[in-house]
């Protein structure tokens, strides 16, 4: 290994006490490849196995905590105890060579396609459609539904513990339900769950509390709790970076293990405030990084780029597309073979890369997502 990459391979201990063997996590990526009933498929398990072992931790694709929150075709479920045996297979698959397994849990809210829902009706904090063509108008959630959803995140965490995972990541990013409660665009409520910035924080904070209570009650060994957040929204009204800086102060008070900042590029500044060019990840790190570990992500393809990000003080880096194209990214860096890391996707590589059929179709057909060679 080239000595300049040694920092990548330093171990890290989360506040909970869980230790990972290096600073690289695999970012959560949807596979579209589970069974219609929410069970994991053998193709998915093979995909996870191929990418495990080298990295310190693997964050799974998001699993829905209740049927009214399913957001993708081919998405797996954590909404019932019947799924625990399959989830246990997934946890063991990831952990087989020392990688920590983190289950991402979420609810799609108004982003859930009606065709995937039992009553064909998405729900959200308010009856406001997303600003994209063809978006359905969701039904405003009742107090009972809000409480049931908070409880569902706790129950999902219990199942993750019983399935043998090392932690959960609460998905509060990418315009899904937790972000919808925080957003002034999707949350127009006038009760205790909406209105002021502080009230819009209450639902995600209640979910964090539900997850923490489940861990305290059911986990017999240290267990990771992470939270993924998108720092801004493009809608008007929408979440601003200043909103997020106030929110992460609250999240840092929750004694969680990390904040995962969901952006397309680690170094990019605000897209809402054009004169704010300072990296949003760095701004959040400077605000709360001394109180909660920050996970950076976004267009860091090479080990040199990862080292540049780690040298800012951000302790952990998540890689996504890089591990789709190069499952052995970390192993090749460790072996001094960084020049052999794949940086493009060939249409002939599906079998070698162990990518499920439905995910492969999207990777090679969605323009701009990955550099695909003909």
Catalytic residues: 176
φ, ψ dihedrals at 38, nearest 5° = 95, 5
Element (H, E) at 73: none
Calpha distance 181→202 (Å, rounded): 8
Beta strands in the chain (DSSP E): 12-13, 19-20, 24-26, 57-64, 100-106, 123-124, 139-140, 167-172, 224-229, 258-261, 294-297, 316-319, 345-346, 372-373
3-class DSSP state of 366: coil
Q: How far does Cα 109 stand from its chain's mean position?
A: 16
Residues facing 77 on adjacent strands: 64
The tokens describing 371, both together, are 């550099």
DSSP string, 286-346: HHHTTTS-EEEESS--SHHHHHHHHTTT--EEEESHHHHH-TTHHHHHHTT-GGG---SEE
The tokens describing 266, both together, are 């680690």
User: How far lies 55's CA from each of 7, 17, 99, 257, in Å?
Assistant: 14, 18, 6, 18
CB 108 within 8 A of CB 77: no
Unique residue bearing structure tokens 């609810």: 107
3-class DSSP state of 246: helix
Buried b (16+ CB within 10 A) or exposed e, 167-186: bbbbbbbbbbbbbbbbbbbb
The tokens describing 256, both together, are 């969680």
Provide the pairing of β-strand 24-26 with 167-172: unpaired
């Amino acid at each position: 290994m080239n000595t300049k990459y040694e920092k990548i391979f330093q171990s890290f201990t989360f506040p909970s006490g869980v230790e990972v063997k290096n600073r690289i996590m695999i970012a959560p990526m949807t596979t579209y490849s589970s069974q219609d009933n929410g069970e994991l498929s053998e193709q998915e398990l093979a995909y996870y196995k191929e990418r495990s072992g080298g990295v310190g931790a693997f964050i799974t694709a998001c699993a829905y905590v209740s049927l009214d929150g399913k957001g993708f075709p081919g998405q797996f479920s954590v909404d019932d105890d019947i799924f625990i045996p399959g989830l246990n297979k997934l946890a063991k698959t990831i952990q087989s060579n020392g990688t920590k397994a983190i289950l991402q849990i979420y609810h799609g809210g108004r982003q859930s396609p009606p065709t995937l829902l039992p009553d064909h009706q998405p729900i959200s904090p308010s009856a406001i459609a997303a600003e994209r063509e063809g978006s359905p108008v969701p039904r405003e959630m009742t107090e009972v539904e809000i409480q049931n959803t908070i409880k569902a995140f706790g129950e999902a965490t219990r199942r993750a513990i019983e399935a043998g995972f090392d932690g959960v990541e609460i998905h509060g990013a990418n315009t899904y339900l937790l972000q919808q409660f925080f957003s002034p665009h999707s949350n127009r409520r006038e009760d205790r769950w909406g209105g002021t910035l502080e009230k819009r924080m209450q639902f995600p904070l209640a979910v964090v509390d539900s997850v923490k209570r489940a861990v305290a009650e059911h986990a017999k060994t240290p267990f990771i709790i992470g939270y993924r957040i998108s720092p801004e929204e493009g809608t008007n009204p929408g979440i601003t970076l200043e909103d997020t800086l106030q929110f992460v102060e609250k999240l840092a008070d929750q004694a969680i293990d990390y904040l995962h900042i969901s952006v397309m590029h680690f170094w990019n500044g605000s897209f809402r405030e054009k004169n704010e060019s300072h990296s949003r990840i760095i701004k959040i790190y400077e605000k709360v990084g001394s109180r909660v570990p920050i996970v950076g992500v976004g267009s860091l393809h090479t080990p040199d780029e990862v080292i540049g990000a780690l040298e800012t003080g951000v302790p952990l880096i998540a890689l996504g597309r890089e591990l789709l194209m190069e499952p052995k990214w970390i192993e090749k860096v460790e072996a001094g073979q960084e020049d052999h890391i794949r940086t493009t996707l060939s249409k002939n590589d599906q079998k070698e890369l162990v990518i499920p059929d439905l995910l492969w179709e999207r990777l090679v057909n969605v323009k701009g997502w990955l550099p695909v060679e003909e």
